[in-house]
Amino acid sequence: MARAGDTLENPATGKRLVFLKTGPEELEYELTFVPKGFAAQPHLHPGQEERHEVLEGSLGIVVAGRERRLGPGDVEVVPPRTAHRIFAVGDTPVHVRFASRPALRSAELLERLFELGDKPGILDLALIGREFEAEGYPTRPPLPVQRAVLTPLAALARSRGRVPGDYVFVDEWDVDAPREAVFEAIADGSTYTDWWTPVYISVETDGPLAVGQVSKQHFKGRLPYTLKTTSTIVRLELPSIVEAQVEGDLRGRGLWTLTARDGGTHVRFDWTVSADRPLLRRLTPVLRPLFRWNHNWAIQRAQEGLEPYARSHGG
């Protein structure tokens, strides 16, 4: 489940989203992007008001046939059930603050769209179209026709296991400890059972810290299961970057980036994985928000334990 401060990014396009408010009454977020895809086609939100405020750049918008070009400080509010679309003005990304009232499942929809990337397949789109109709749908063809076309495609997608598989997490926080000490704690997985508790049950490494080092992890969240993974360091730049490839119950990559800031350390963790355990893979489309909540809980434990550990081991 998205929370204020969570970030979604697409490095290939430079698209970046930061959640500002994630309560049930209102979803607010900032997005840096070049408009295209669903939002650039005529569509409506049946039960939500949508607010557009340009922070940087220029954004084109058409609301009920009326066209405007918004610049910094300009605002356009679209009432529920009102056809509208946005469009690019030039090739430069625009920075916009959006707000949807009420929030409904819009945050989850945005997460799903980021996970699918820029070229989702027809089955992926069918799933989203059926699952998020309450959040929005195209104005053409008529809604009954959309349902008739998308429903069997969505059923086919589910039968083939065509659900968004990747989880994309970006977590950032500040640690009041020297960067070198923070890096040592993060890069040395064998310390996780000392400070990332009670998440990590055990960690075994095969040798000193270096590219190619392999470690085996056994960990858990709040949900009633544990996970086992094997990670291999593929990038190591002391004391700022460590990246690992992960296999096992989860498959993907984790990237830690540390930046010195005001005598302390800014920590960023990019975690892109898919569930390889069959049961988790089958449950992904149903329990995705719960899995994200589970991740957030684990990160909170890291935030609680990393700073005191790094301060006490910082020389």
Instruction: Give the separation between CA 62 and CA 85, rounded to whole angstroms.
Output: 5
Burial of 32 (0-12, 13-18, 19+ CB in 10 A): middle
> So what's the pLDDT on residue 283?
57
> So what's the pLDDT on residue 110?
92
In the chain, what are the helix, strand and coil shares in percent, each to the nearest 5?
30, 40, 30
Cα dihedral 304/306/309/312 (nearest 10): -100
> Is CATH 2.60.120.10 the classification given to domain 7-159?
yes
Output the six-digit token pair for 26: 């209102």
> So what's the pLDDT on residue 116?
81
Instruction: Give the separation between CA 177 and CA 10, rounded to whole angstroms.
Output: 30
> So what's the pLDDT on residue 147?
92
**How many angstroms from the chain centroid is the CA of residue 278?**
22
SS3 288: helix
Output the CA torsion sign for 292, 5, 101, 79: negative
Q: What is the DSSP letter of 25?
A: S
Instruction: Give the separation between CA 76 and CA 182, rounded to whole angstroms.
Output: 44
Residue extents of the structural domains in the chain = 7-159, 166-312
Q: Angle, nearest 10°, between helix axes 122-131 and 143-159?
A: 120
- Angle at the Cα of 183 (from 177 to 185), degrees rounded to 5? 85
Which stretches in the chain have pLDDT values below 70? 1, 159-166, 276-288, 315
Fold of 166-312: Alpha-D-Glucose-1,6-Bisphosphate; Chain A, domain 4 (3.30.530)
Peptide bond just before 102 cis, omega within 30 deg: yes
112, 121, 194, 251, 271 from 166: Cα distances, Å: 9, 15, 29, 9, 10
> So what's the pLDDT on residue 281?
54
